[in-house]
Amino acid sequence: MYQPKSFDHLMGTPDFSDALLANHFALYKGYVTNVNKLTELLATFQTMEKKRALEYSELKRRFGWEYNGMRLHEYYFENIVHDEEKNAPNVDSKLAEALGKYFGGHEDWAYENWKEDFGATGEMRGIGWAILYKDRETGNLFNTWVTEHDMGHLAGATPLVVLDVFEHAYMLDYGIKRVDYVNAFMNAINWEVVEKRFNNT
């Protein structure tokens, strides 16, 4: 059984109201609850005859939505920081070198180039996620749009930066001004967490 993680330490994060965060944490906990419920329900389909039933197929399909909803929210909350001192990328890191290679076109630190591209991805019309992925085989970096939770993921790639761009992530504070929300997120990225994700793959 999965247990929801606590992200209460994010309360008071600049540009994210406590009400917005509390609502978002509650939504995340719902995904955890549903993953556990689906796991239990799927375990009741013990025979092949039952597994060929329509209900089994629909529950199986739903599992990916709920599970990814749980995990993506964890990645998202984990890569936000309350402490502004951690919100500075290390310009001498291997991550910085990789960002320069794939977004800068030169050896200089390419944070601004990456930020512009990632921001544009997050500002696209529609609901979903903007994710900076690292291809585990080649080391290539990609800013990618993921539609909903279970459509558009890059197989074999590790999420480094995850931005929730469903309306629930920003409407309470920003209304329809998604650009302002994306900018607030960019100023709250926990680069220590991102660099750790990069180095662990």
Give the mean pLDDT of 164-189.
96
Say how far apart CA 100 and CA 107 lie, in whole Å: 6
Which residue from 141, 1, 149, 183 is spatially nearest to 75, judged by alpha carbons?
Answer: 149
Say how far apart CA 68 and CA 12 lie, in whole Å: 27
Q: Assign 83 a pLDDT band (cuts: 50, 70, 90).
A: confident
What per-residue confidence (pLDDT) applies to 91? 82
Give the mean pLDDT of 163-170.
97
| pTM value surpassing 0.75 | yes
The structure tokens listed for 129 are 């996620």
The structure tokens listed for 73 are 């929210």
Report the length, in residues, of the chain: 201
Question: What beta strand segments (E) does 43-199 contain?
Answer: 128-135, 141-147, 157-164
Are the beta carbons of 130 and 121 closer than 8 angstroms? yes
pLDDT surpassing 90 at residue 134:
yes
